[in-house]
């Protein structure tokens, strides 16, 4: 068990070093606004706690050269990103830089014991490759609703057997270190905040378009979870008046129009009706079609596939336009497996949002595709536990 | 110019006394978590600054009786609520209790000079009736977008002549005290937070249905304004696929379906086509119809008026259902002039939200009509300036 900072000044220094990398004491003093002697005292304590270390001398600012400090180089955080069909595990240093990363196909429907054992095995492989055997904390993202406070999934629709399974408790006992569990859109949003396009943005939305559709909400640099932890669950917002029936029982839900599952369904219909020759041939080769096949069809110029992506982008854009008017974010990032479907999707989303939302809300609003791709989830999960461990202990 | 608290402890004590009323020093000590001697020191400073005062002795808790303190009884805050067709001005004490309140018809289209002079006259009348002539700060709510930071309205659609008029500066100079200006949905939300149904709720929405429709968003007890201050501008969210054309140029905006202006338009059509006998007769008596006439028609059992209200409630409910899924609030309060249209409106909104939003988000979600009615805006405006004056000076 590693020590945690003892007060808010120490926590502030650690977060700065995590975000900005090594800094001279003089530079940190300018930001933290402590007297020279108080700052020296806090550094001594952090050093004694094993949380910071010396890293040489800075260039002179005119007087004596100031010592450079950095977050302790032995710190290790782990991010685990459980997807519907894959597991990613990464080890980061204290600055949340990924040191090593493994990814494997997995089936979340196999239940928590099988899936968490697979994650533990991947983590074991990573640790055997890494010199530092000790890990200081683990963050886990799951593809369904999570009670963050309790560290358990709550009625997750695509995760049979996981309902209220004590993921945090089991993993913490297994690994002997602190563990936090969250919904994967929240960990992806944290990944963007720590290492992605949102590094300098306080209020932003991360829209994940994968098998389903969800949204991570960041207010003033913190994940906003809502009163019962379900904030950002936008997949069941109505996106049309006479839409397809959704698994939730309602009609016209955004997810019933678009997302990996909806696109696979529409692709199969287009293939069977032979409306799309490309998709018909693909279906003849394989047992079933996925969103990737639609992407490949669109890339080959298949008109039906392009139409599916544009229609989907328009629905996402219409829901997002309302959320932009309501929330007035500084940035919207599109992530998840379908974010890679190409420019047509992004162009359609942008077109609708810029046309439908208020000018005051869209004037300086970038809508972009994540540059982190598959690593947003693991970096964010590591960020989640590091946020906890680098905050002042109560 | 009254003093402001010197540090966060003093600010915390003042906010507690404002919200909870007079308290014994012992009770405050339990909450503020300062040592007995430090607490005594802060009380002495607050007393010297004229911000708190003694109010007798508390009942014994076993030992020496503890002194009761309260927020200084001479403190006076002013709330000014400028509506499209009315001005409300109230004076409150330090606990935000309304001591006196005046309301007059007004026309916001008369421009800032005429309207602010009318507000100053009302305030003069109130001050001549009240013994305490000094006021310590003024909050102002305006019916349009406001740059909170600059204290000016920004392109407000129904307020010709007000664009970027320096309301805060002019009023502060005129009154010789600090002034803050905000959008009226934000001041209404603050009113609910300080004196209404949201007193114990951190995250909630205040939906104002007046001439137009807007939403105040409270996150963790603070107004959320978004990156350019336009958060909560929900009147132009699309509420249907082939809706009426809105003043903003788009079709299907929520405001184009419902709100005071839309209801007056629909009522006039129903009256002219003689579909509604009640409204036809009303229109023959008066020059024009308003939302109140629709309310009166519905109360008399006019089927067309009831249908208009239910249709409008359904549109509001559909937009709100999406926002509830996204934001997962702890409470939704319906306010504004049309909130009084009766149970049919509330029933329709509730029906759609409870049916369309996620069960996790609606499980414990009350949707209620404001109990403060016309005073939410003035109490909230007074609360806005008191939040500022009772926070630690930088």
B355 and A155 in contact by Cβ < 8 A? no
Name the minimum distance, in Å, from the CA of B108 to any CA of chain A: 22
**Domain identity same for A170 and A242:** no
The pLDDT score that the predictor gives to residue A61 is 67
pLDDT at A65: 73
In a domain, residue B310? The reply is yes
Cα gap B25→B48, rounded to integer Å: 16
Contact between chains at A231 and B154 (C-beta distance less than 8 A): no
The answer to whether the CB atoms of B236 and A325 lie below 8 A apart is yes
Residues of chain B in contact with residue A319, where contact means CB-CB under 8 angstroms, are 322
Task: Supply the pLDDT for residue B61.
Answer: 67
Rounded average pLDDT over B280-306: 93
Q: Residue A362 phi/psi, 5° resolution?
A: -105, -5
Q: Which of A39-43, A117-121, B239-243, B342-346 has the highest mean pLDDT?
A: A117-121
Cα gap B218→B379, rounded to integer Å: 16
The CATH number of the domain holding residue A293 is 3.30.420.40
Tokens representing residue B137 in the block: 């700060």
Chain B residues whose beta carbon lies within 8 Å of the beta carbon of residue A355: 250
* CA pair distance B40, B62, nearest whole angstrom: 20
Confidence of residue B341 (pLDDT cuts 50, 70, 90): confident
Residues sharing a CB contact under 8 Å with residue B318, sequence separation 6 or more, in sequence order: A238, B239, B352, B356
What percent of chain B is modeled with pLDDT above 70? 97
Q: Are A333 and A197 in contact (CB under 8 A)?
A: yes
What does the pLDDT read at residue A56?
79
Which whole number is the average pLDDT over B119-147?
89
> Do B325 and B220 belong together in one domain?
yes
The mean pLDDT value for B282-310 works out to: 93
For residues B374 and B88, the answer to whether their CB atoms sit within 8 Å is yes
Residues A203 and A283 in one domain: yes
Q: Are strands B137-142 and B146-147 parallel, antiparallel or unpaired?
A: unpaired
Q: Encode pLDDT of A90-137 as tens digits.
A: 999 999 999 999 999 999 999 999 999 999 999 999 998 876 568 999
Nearest residue in B to A364, CA atom: B228
- Where is pLDDT greater, at B1 or A264? A264
Segment A3-17, tens digit of pLDDT: 889 988 899 999 999
Q: What is the pLDDT of chain A when averaged over all its residues?
A: 91
**A1 pLDDT above the threshold of 80:** no
Q: What CA–CA distances, in Å, run from A104 to A115, A214, B148, B262?
A: 11, 23, 50, 56
What's the confidence (pLDDT) of residue B307? 95
Question: Measured between alpha carbons, how far is A210 from A143 in angstroms, rounded to an integer?
Answer: 10
Do B257 and B206 sit in the same domain of this protein? Answer: yes
* pLDDT surpassing 70 at residue B1: no
For residue A212, CA distances in Å to A253, A291, A325, B67, B152 come to: 11, 12, 23, 60, 42
Chosen for mutation from A206, A220, A228 (greatest number of chain B CBs closer than 10 Å) is: A228
- Does residue A349 sit in the same domain as residue A206? yes
- In sequence order, what are the residues at sequence separation of 6 or more whose Cβ sits closer than 8 angstroms to the Cβ of residue A105? A85, A86
- DSSP-derived letter for residue A72 is -
Residue A38 has pLDDT above 70, yes or no: yes
Q: Return the CATH number at A57.
A: 1.10.10.10
The percentage of residues in chain A with a pLDDT greater than 70, rounded to a whole number, is 97
pLDDT of residue B311: 95
Q: Tell me if A360 and B145 make a contact (CB, 8 A cut-off).
A: yes
- Look at residue B1 and tell me if it is in a domain: no
Residues A183, A203, single domain; the answer is no
Query: Would A166 be classed as within a structural domain?
Result: yes
Task: Work out the minimum CA distance from B103 to partner chain A, whole angstroms.
Answer: 31
- Considering only the beta carbons, identify the residue of B238, B358, B364 that sits closest to A322: B238
Q: Where are the alpha helices (DSSP H) in B130-259?
A: 167-175, 184-195, 254-257
Q: Cα B80 from chain centroid?
A: 11
Total domains in chain B come to: 3
Nearest residue to B342 (alpha-carbon basis) of B384, B379, B306: B306
Q: Ramachandran region of residue A274, left (φ > 0), alpha (ψ -120 to 50) or beta? A: left
Residue B22 in any domain: the answer is: yes
Interchain pair B328, A233: CB under 8 A: yes
* pLDDT value at B75 more than 90: yes
Nearest Cβ partner of A237 from B232, B325, B329?
B325
Predicted pLDDT of residue B20: 87
Is residue B25 domain-resident?
A: yes
pLDDT at residue B193 tops 70:
yes
Same domain flag for B130 and B174:
yes
The last residue of one of the domains, among A23, A45, A71, is A71
Rounded to an integer, what distance in angstroms lies between the CA atom of residue A212 and that of residue A261? 7
CA torsion angle A299 A303 A309 A313 (round to 10) = 120
Residues A186 and A203 occupy one common structural domain: no
A325·B234 Cβ contact <8 A: yes
Domain boundary residue among A26, A54, A71? A71
> Chain B residue with minimal CA distance to A246?
B356
ipTM of the complex: 0.91
Cβ contact, residue pair B327, A231, below 8 Å: yes
| Residue B131: per-residue pLDDT | 62
Domain membership of residue A251 as a residue range:
199-370
pLDDT of B176 over the 90 cut: yes
Q: What is the pLDDT of residue B209?
A: 95
C-beta separation of A100 from A375 below 8 A? no
Looking at the domain assignment, is residue A2 inside a domain? Answer: no
B205 with B322, same domain? yes
CA distance A248 to A317: 21
Which strands, in side-by-side order, build the sheet including A213-219? A222-223, A213-219, A204-209, A332-335, A367-369
Q: How far is CA A196 from CA A88, A96, A379, in A?
A: 18, 12, 10
Do residue A325 and residue B230 have CB atoms under 8 angstroms apart?
yes
**Chain B residues with CB inside 8 Å of A236's CB?**
325, 356-358
Q: Is A27 left (phi over 0), alpha (psi -120 to 50) or beta?
A: alpha
Interface list for chain B against chain A, based on CB atoms closer than 8 Å: 145, 154-155, 202-203, 215, 217, 219, 224-234, 236-238, 240-241, 248, 250, 318-319, 321-323, 325-330, 355-358, 360-361, 363-364
Helix (H) or strand (E) holding B140: strand B137-142
In a domain? residue A1 = no
Q: Is pLDDT above 90 for B237?
A: yes
- Assigned domain for A140 exists: yes
Q: Return d(Cα B143, Cα B271) in angstroms, integer.
A: 29
Note the pLDDT of residue B248: 81
- The answer on B361 and B247 residing in a single domain is yes
What are A's interface residues with B at a Cβ cutoff of 8 A? 145, 154-155, 202-203, 215, 217, 219, 224-234, 236-238, 240-241, 248, 250, 318-319, 321-323, 325-330, 355-358, 360-361, 363-364
Residue A82 near residue A184, CB atoms below 8 Å: yes
Give the pLDDT of residue B134: 85
Q: What is the pLDDT of residues A235-273, one digit of tens each?
A: 999 998 888 988 888 899 999 999 999 999 999 999 999
Residue B208 clears pLDDT 80, i.e. is over it:
yes
What would the pLDDT profile of A206-244 be if each residue is shown by its tens digit?
Answer: 999 998 899 999 999 999 999 988 999 999 999 988 889
Q: What is the pLDDT of residue B394?
A: 63
Mutating which of B164, B239, B247, B322 best tests the A interface, going by the most A Cβ atoms within 10 A? B322
Same domain assignment for residues B109 and B258: no
> Is B188 in the same domain as B86?
yes
Distance in Å, alpha carbon of B230 to nearest chain A alpha carbon: 6
Domain end call among A51, A71, A91: A71
């Amino acid at each position: 068990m590693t020590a945690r900072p003892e007060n808010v000044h120490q926590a502030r220094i650690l977060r700065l070093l995590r975000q900005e990398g090594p800094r001279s004491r003089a530079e940190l003093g300018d930001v933290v606004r402590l007297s020279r002697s108080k700052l020296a005292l806090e550094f001594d304590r952090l050093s004694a706690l094993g949380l910071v270390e010396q890293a040489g001398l800075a260039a002179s600012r005119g007087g004596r050269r100031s010592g450079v400090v950095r977050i302790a180089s032995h710190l290790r955080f782990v991010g685990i990103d459980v997807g519907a069909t894959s597991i990613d595990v990464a080890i980061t240093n204290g600055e949340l830089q990924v040191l090593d990363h493994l990814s494997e196909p997995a089936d979340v429907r196999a239940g928590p014991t099988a899936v968490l054992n697979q994650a533990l095995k991947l983590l074991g492989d990573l640790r055997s490759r890494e010199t530092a055997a000790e890990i200081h904390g683990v963050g886990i993202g799951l593809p369904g609703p999570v009670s963050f406070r309790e560290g358990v999934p709550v009625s997750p629709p695509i995760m049979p057997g996981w309902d209220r399974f004590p993921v945090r408790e089991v993993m913490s006992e297994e690994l002997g270190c602190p563990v936090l569990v969250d919904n994967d859109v929240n960990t992806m949003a944290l990944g963007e905040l720590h290492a992605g396009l949102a590094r300098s943005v306080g209020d932003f939305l991360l829209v994940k378009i994968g098998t389903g559709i969800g949204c991570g909400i960041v207010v003033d640099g913190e994940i906003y979870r809502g009163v019962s932890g379900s904030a950002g669950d936008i997949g069941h917002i109505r996106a049309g008046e006479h839409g397809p029936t959704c698994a939730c029982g309602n009609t016209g839900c955004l997810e019933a129009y678009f997302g990996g599952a909806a696109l696979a369904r529409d692709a199969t219909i287009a293939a069977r009706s032979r409306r799309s020759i490309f998709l018909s041939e693909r279906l003849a080769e394989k047992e079933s079609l996925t969103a990737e096949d639609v992407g490949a069809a669109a890339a080959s110029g298949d008109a039906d596939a392009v139409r599916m992506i544009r229609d989907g982008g328009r629905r996402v854009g219409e829901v997002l336009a309302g959320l932009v008017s309501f929330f007035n974010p500084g940035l919207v990032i599109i992530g998840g497996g379908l974010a890679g479907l190409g420019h047509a999707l992004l162009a359609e989303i942008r077109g609708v949002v810029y046309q439908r939302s208020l000018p005051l809300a869209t004037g300086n609003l970038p809508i972009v595709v994540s540059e982190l791709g598959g690593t947003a989830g693991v970096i964010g999960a590591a960020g989640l536990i590091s946020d906890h461990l680098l905050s002042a202990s109560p």
